[in-house]
Amino acid sequence: QQQVKQSPQSLIVQKGGISIINCAYENTAFDYFPWYQQFPGKGPALLIAIRPDVSEKKEGRFTISFNKSAKQFSLHIMDSQPGDSATYFCAALADRGSTLGRLYFGRGTQLTVWP
């Protein structure tokens, strides 16, 4: 059973546009929500992460929006660039309990930014 559901599966955006990727979860014990970026043939790299004590976190062109009541979070990439073309994964983790340290990943979104 997929603990974190991610959409869309693929996304095509024009250069300069906004890319938006959405994730949803059910487990209310989750309290750490990272986003990873992966280029073909490489390992994923941590892009940005949020904890539920804030509703938004911004780092450069990347913003996470978090809606605790809806159990949803999303990644916004402003002014998307061709170099942003990659696969993006959302994930969630419960920072306590028997599953301490386990990240649950969404299935990924393949982003293509056209020049």
Partner 1 sequence: DGGITQSPKYLFRKEGQNVTLSCEQNLNHDAMYWYRQDPGQGLRLIYYSQIVNDFQKGDIAEGYSVSREKKESFPLTVTSAQKNPTAFYLCASSIEGSGGPRRNEQFFGPGTRLTVL
Q: How far is the CB of 42 from partner 1 (least distance, A)?
A: 6
Q: Would you give the binding string for partner 1 spanning residues 22-51, x where CB under 8 A is met? A: ----------x-x-x----xxxxxx--x--
Q: How far is the CB of 61 from partner 1 (least distance, A)?
A: 20
Name every residue whose Cβ is closer than 8 Å to that of residue 98 and which is 6 or more positions away in sequence: none
Q: Which of 62, 89, 111, 113 binds partner 1 (CB under 8 A)?
A: 89
Binding flag, residue 101, partner 1 (CB under 8 A): yes
In the complex with partner 1, the residue whose CB is nearer, 20 or 49, is 49
In the complex with partner 1, the residue whose CB is nearer, 12 or 78, is 12
CB neighbours of residue 66 within 10 Å: 19
Q: How far is the CB of 15 from partner 1 (least distance, A)?
A: 26
Measured between alpha carbons, how far is 115 from 112 in angstroms, rounded to an integer? Answer: 10
Residues that bind partner 1 in the complex, under the rule CB under 8 A = 6, 9, 32, 34, 36, 41-46, 49, 89, 93, 95, 100-103, 105-108
